[in-house]
């Protein structure tokens, strides 16, 4: 196997491990390789249908237009980071408050360690609901809607309408990616609308996002940094993103 083939196999492995990768991340991984060569690699891998080339990077072939990656795959990626994020998020949960838990792997990790105390918890996530069912004290409400078998969440016009009549103290939100041009994004139009609606109904909007999602753009925009109160991550966010958070007065944990 020659060096080019080894490099391209490594690129495919990296994309499959995280679901997506930015061109900036690729350059860091291969500092001795020219940008032109890396772009040629991405083009060749895309044509071979081993990855999906997108603006600013690449996605796994499992990430299809109009969907996000399978939740079952995301649950086993960056597990240590997700557990760290969940533990950090726990310190923000207050008793006797109304909470929204979004669908996603990081929010599912949070649901799995939620305190058994008096809270009113709404969720559109079937995996979060399964974890929360182990608790006795909180009142759990699962929103109605059409199931997305990729995210294991429910969504739709009725879900959005239901959310519009509820005032949340806190909303713990999952996102697929973030880039400076598009803000926080995801791969499903209706889910982007639901997420934005929930955040507008919340006194405190809290985004759970590991650092691998920075510098990547998905199809549908959710919101910008200025719409977020707190961002909880794994401690490895890039410096330029941290600067942008400070400018928008977003508390980073």
- The closest alpha carbon to 151, from 180, 123, 181, belongs to 123
The residue among 72 and 141 whose pLDDT is bigger is 141
Q: What percent of the chain has pLDDT over 90?
A: 62
Please compute the mean of the pLDDT values over residues 133-144 and round it to a whole number.
96
pTM of the prediction? 0.72
pLDDT at 65: 46
pLDDT at 213: 87
Distances (CA, A) of 176 to 59, 168, 222: 12, 22, 10
Please compute the mean of the pLDDT values over residues 169-198 and round it to a whole number.
92
- CA 78 from centroid of its chain's CA atoms: 12
φ, ψ of residue 5 in degrees (nearest 5): -65, -40
Using CA atoms, how far apart are residues 103 and 129, in angstroms rounded to an integer?
Answer: 10
Give the pLDDT confidence of 4-56 residue by residue, as tens digits: 988 998 998 888 777 778 898 999 999 999 999 999 999 999 888 788 888 88
Give the pLDDT confidence of 211-232 residue by residue, as tens digits: 888 988 888 899 999 999 999 9
């Amino acid at each position: 196997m020659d060096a080019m083939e080894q490099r391209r196999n490594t690129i495919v492995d990296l994309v499959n491990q995280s679901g997506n990768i930015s061109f900036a991340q690729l350059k860091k991984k291969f500092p001795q390789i020219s940008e032109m060569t890396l772009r040629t690699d991405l083009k060749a891998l895309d044509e071979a249908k081993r990855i999906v080339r997108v603006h600013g990077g690449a996605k796994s072939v499992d990430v299809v237009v109009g969907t996000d990656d399978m939740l079952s795959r995301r649950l086993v990626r960056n597990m240590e980071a997700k557990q760290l994020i969940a533990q950090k998020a726990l310190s923000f949960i207050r008793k006797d408050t109304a909470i929204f838990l979004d669908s996603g792997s990081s929010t599912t990790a949070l649901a799995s360690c939620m305190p058994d105390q008096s809270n009113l918890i709404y969720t559109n996530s079937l995996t979060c609901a399964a974890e929360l069912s182990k608790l006795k004290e909180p009142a759990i409400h699962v929103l109605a809607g059409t199931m997305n078998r990729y995210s294991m969440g429910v969504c739709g016009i009725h879900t959005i309408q239901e959310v519009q009549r509820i005032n949340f103290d806190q909303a713990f939100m999952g996102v697929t990616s973030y880039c400076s041009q598009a803000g926080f994004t995801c791969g499903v139009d209706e889910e982007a609308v639901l997420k934005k609606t929930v955040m507008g109904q919340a006194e405190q909007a809290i985004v759970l996002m590991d650092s691998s999602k920075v510098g990547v753009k998905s199809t549908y925009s959710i919101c910008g940094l200025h719409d977020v109160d707190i961002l909880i991550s794994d401690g490895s966010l890039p410096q330029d993103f941290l600067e942008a958070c400070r400018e928008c007065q977003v508390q980073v944990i």
